Structure 1
């Protein structure tokens, strides 16, 4: 018999525990994966990264989230939210994260 995963809602926006990554090289991919594997949502801010690094990290993050049954969505220009399996972040919580993070050009 197949068990369905239980979804855990992230509490209120002010207490959302997320890890922000501002990558400067591909070596930062390990930090993204380590936090994601621990069940911590990751904000990947590529606004300061060059196009080549951005493409590589988007490919990496896409594979990571797919392989571990997570999700990935663009929340602002060159800013992505990676959510582990069983973690859901509401639209209100995403808005609060954007506001707290000072991201511009919201998608």
Structure 2
């Protein structure tokens, strides 16, 4: 599973780079791929508990 996850991340990174988009790490194993012009606003982990 780890090898497949790494390959998916590598592929996704290439797509993001090619499109000039953005990749944001949400958690240890969670990434958010955002299209060009999309603003990503975050909430701190403490804010999620509220």
Structure 1 gap ranges (5+): 1-49, 100-107
Residues matched between the structures, number: 46
CA deviation after TM superposition for structure 1 residue 75, in Å: 0.7
For 1:91 and 1:59, the matched residues in 2 are separated by: 24
Where relative contact order (Cα < 8 A, 6+ residues apart) is larger, the structure is 1
TM-score with structure 1 setting the length? 0.39
CA RMSD of aligned residues (A): 1.8
| 1:54 match | 5
Mapped to 1, the partners of 2:8 and 2:24 lie a distance apart of 14
- Structure 2, unpaired ranges of 5+: none
2:42 corresponds to 1:91: yes
2:42 and 2:25 map into 1 onto residues whose CA distance is 12
Report the TM-score when normalising by structure 2: 0.78
Which residue of the partner structure matches residue 80 of structure 1?
31
SS of the equivalent of 1:86 reads coil
Runs in 1 of length 4+ with deviation above 2 angstroms? none
In structure 2, how many angstroms separate the alpha carbons of the residues matched to 1:89 and 1:74? Answer: 11
